[in-house]
């Protein structure tokens, strides 16, 4: 019976992989480039031109995530009940304007305001795109679909690193923000003409694929009959203990992710004593490793049905690699190798982690919970860069990196404590 089921599934057209994932991926790439280009701008001249201290560098990198809080839950609800497509369209326009204005700043306070505003503008993106993906991909495909979507992190890193190094070396750090603002406008047109919120609304999908998706996704929701929440309030979402477990896990994970990401160019510049062009090239390999890690672990998770295990392993690996980057720093290339392995584990748990809300909660609760988990968890994106900046100012760069390793170790332990129902039985 399982073989027949798999055969039927294999015969279903898969236009959704070509029509839904690419525009989401490209849009997410642009959002991430806008988010992390400051990591290259700071050692590339911004820090000197605006007279910013190390602790303020961390604040400028992290304040984005304070603004990031505001549209998380509204974004998730809009995607469930309205149009995530329109939400992201307005977001892209906002990113373009804010990025361009960032290239014109003349002091720290203008920079902090615009970084905060960018966080607000990007805040609803992840819960919206995760909800769109859950509308288009059944549970057996969702881990891979999420992983491909979250592939925007390494791809953006691979593109941003050499592009940023080249623009800063050839032009100026200001042009880095202006050029990426222009790119955001171009992507807005791509998004407007390609994406559809749900299979029932898409004109391009075949009848066979539409019926398969509507039937399969409806059947998955039957697991929540009797406990479905028609209008899941913020209070109802926040009262769930499992949601808080996921929030705390995500907080420590994001602390490690963004502490590493936003300080990597500075760490590499300090380690290798080279210019921004070389730092940009050295920054590519960790993100190549990220792509490998994401595909490897998400594929294993989908094949085995084990979600908990393949959230835990990358988190633990990331923590160990960060520790080794400090322990081996006397040998430049061994330390660099450890930083590359950080990249392998960087986002390997993310796609798997985001399959969990759909397994634990109804569609309505999952939509709201994604926003809450992402919003409160991403406060780690503020704490990571800022904490590293503070520790560099008062102690050393090593102390900052070791603090990130500790945060990831805590996240790994929390992953092991997730309930068994996060996993699913493989047919």
pLDDT in tens, 259-282: 898 888 888 888 888 777 788 888
Please report the pLDDT score of residue 234 as a whole number. Answer: 58
The per-residue b/e assignment along 47-70, b for 16 or more CB within 10 angstroms, e otherwise, is beebebebbbbbbbbbbbbbbbbb
- In this structure, are residues 213 and 103 in contact, taking their beta carbons and an 8 Å threshold? no
What's the whole-model pTM score?
0.70
Q: Give the other-Cβ count within 10 Å of 90's Cβ.
A: 12
Of 64-78, 157-171, 374-388, the poorest mean pLDDT is in: 64-78
Give the mean model confidence (pLDDT) for residues 174-183: 92
- In this structure, are residues 230 and 364 in contact, taking their beta carbons and an 8 Å threshold? yes
Residue 363 has pLDDT above 70, yes or no: no
Percent of the chain with pLDDT over 90: 22
- Residue 16: C-alpha distances to residues 143, 212, 391 (Å): 15, 12, 46
Please report the pLDDT score of residue 237 as a whole number. Answer: 65
Residue 55 has pLDDT above 60, yes or no: yes
- In this structure, are residues 189 and 14 in contact, taking their beta carbons and an 8 Å threshold? no
- Residue 3: C-alpha distances to residues 6, 209, 222, 383, 427 (Å): 5, 20, 23, 48, 8
Q: Which CATH superfamily is domain 16-217+236-422 in?
A: MFS general substrate transporter like domains (1.20.1250.20)
pLDDT in tens, 182-212: 999 999 988 888 888 888 888 888 888 888 8
Residue 320 has pLDDT above 90, yes or no: yes
Please spell the DSSP secondary structure of 345-389, one letter per residue: HHTTTHHHHTTHHHHHS-HHHHHHHHHHHHHHHTHHHHHHHHHHH
- pLDDT confidence band for 5 (50 / 70 / 90): very low
Listed ranges 79-88, 122-131, 326-335; the one with the highest mean pLDDT:
326-335
Residues 193, 279: Cα–Cα separation, whole Å: 37
* CB neighbour list of residue 304: distance below 8 Å, 6 or more residues apart: 310, 426
Q: Which long-range contacts (CB under 8 A, 24 or more apart) does 410-414 make?
A: 410/252, 411/249, 411/250, 411/252, 411/253, 411/256, 411/315, 412/312, 412/315, 412/316, 412/319, 414/245, 414/248, 414/249, 414/252
Residues 128, 89: Cα–Cα separation, whole Å: 11
Residue-averaged pLDDT of the chain: 83
Q: Which two tokens stand for residue 276?
A: 């921004």
Residues 319, 296: Cα–Cα separation, whole Å: 18
pLDDT in tens, 328-349: 988 989 999 999 999 999 988 9
- pLDDT confidence band for 1 (50 / 70 / 90): very low
Residues 202, 223: Cα–Cα separation, whole Å: 26
Residue 244 has pLDDT above 50, yes or no: yes
Residues 341, 348: Cα–Cα separation, whole Å: 11
Higher-pLDDT residue of 179 and 298 is 179
Q: How far is CA 75 from the centre of its chain?
A: 16
Residue 8 has pLDDT above 70, yes or no: no
pLDDT in tens, 398-416: 898 999 999 999 999 999 8
């Amino acid at each position: 019976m399982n073989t027949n089921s798999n055969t039927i599934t294999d015969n279903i057209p898969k236009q959704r992989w070509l029509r839904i994932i690419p525009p989401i991926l490209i849009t997410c790439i642009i959002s991430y480039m806008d988010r992390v280009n400051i990591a290259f701008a700071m050692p590339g001249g911004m820090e000197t031109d605006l007279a910013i201290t190390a602790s303020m560098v961390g604040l400028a990198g992290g304040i984005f995530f304070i603004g990031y809080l505001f549209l998380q839950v509204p974004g998730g609800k809009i995607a469930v009940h309205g149009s995530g497509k329109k939400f992201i369209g307005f977001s892209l326009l906002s990113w373009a304007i804010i990025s361009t204005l960032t290239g014109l700043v003349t002091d720290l306070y203008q920079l902090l305001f615009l970084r905060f505003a960018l966080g607000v503008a990007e805040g609803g993106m992840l819960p919206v795109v995760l909800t769109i993906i859950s509308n288009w991909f059944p549970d057996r495909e969702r881990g891979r679909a999420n992983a491909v979507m979250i592939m925007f992190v390494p791809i953006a890193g691979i593109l941003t690193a050499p592009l940023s190094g080249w623009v800063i070396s050839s032009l100026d750090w200001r042009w880095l923000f202006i050029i990426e603002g222009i790119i955001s406008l171009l992507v807005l047109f791509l998004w407007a003409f390609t994406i559809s919120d749900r299979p029932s609304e898409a004109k391009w999908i075949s009848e066979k694929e539409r019926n398969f998706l509507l039937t399969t996704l409806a059947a998955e929701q039957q697991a929540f009959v009797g406990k479905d929440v028609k209008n899941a309030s913020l209070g109802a979402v926040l009262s769930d203990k499992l949601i808080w477990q996921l929030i705390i896990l995500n907080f420590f994970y994001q602390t490690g992710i963004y502490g590493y990401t936003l300080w990597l160019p500075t760490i590499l510049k300090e380690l290798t004593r080279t210019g921004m062009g070389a730092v940009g090239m050295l920054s590519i390999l960790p993100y190549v490793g990220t792509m490998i890690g994401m595909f490897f672990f998400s594929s294993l998770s989908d094949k085995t049905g084990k979600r908990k295990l393949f959230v835990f392993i990358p988190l633990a690996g990331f923590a160990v690699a960060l520790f080794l980057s400090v322990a081996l720093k006397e040998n430049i290339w061994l330390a660099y190798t450890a930083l590359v392995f950080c990249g392998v584990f960087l986002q390997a748990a993310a796609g798997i982690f985001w399959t969990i809300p759909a397994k634990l909660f109804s569609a309505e609760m999952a939509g709201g919970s994604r926003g809450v988990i992402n919003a409160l968890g991403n406060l780690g994106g503020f704490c990571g860069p800022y904490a590293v900046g503070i520790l560099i100012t008062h102690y050393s760069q090593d102390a900052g990196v070791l603090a990130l390793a500790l945060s990831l170790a805590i996240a790994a332990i929390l992953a092991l404590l997730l309930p068994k129902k996060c996993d699913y039985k493989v047919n």
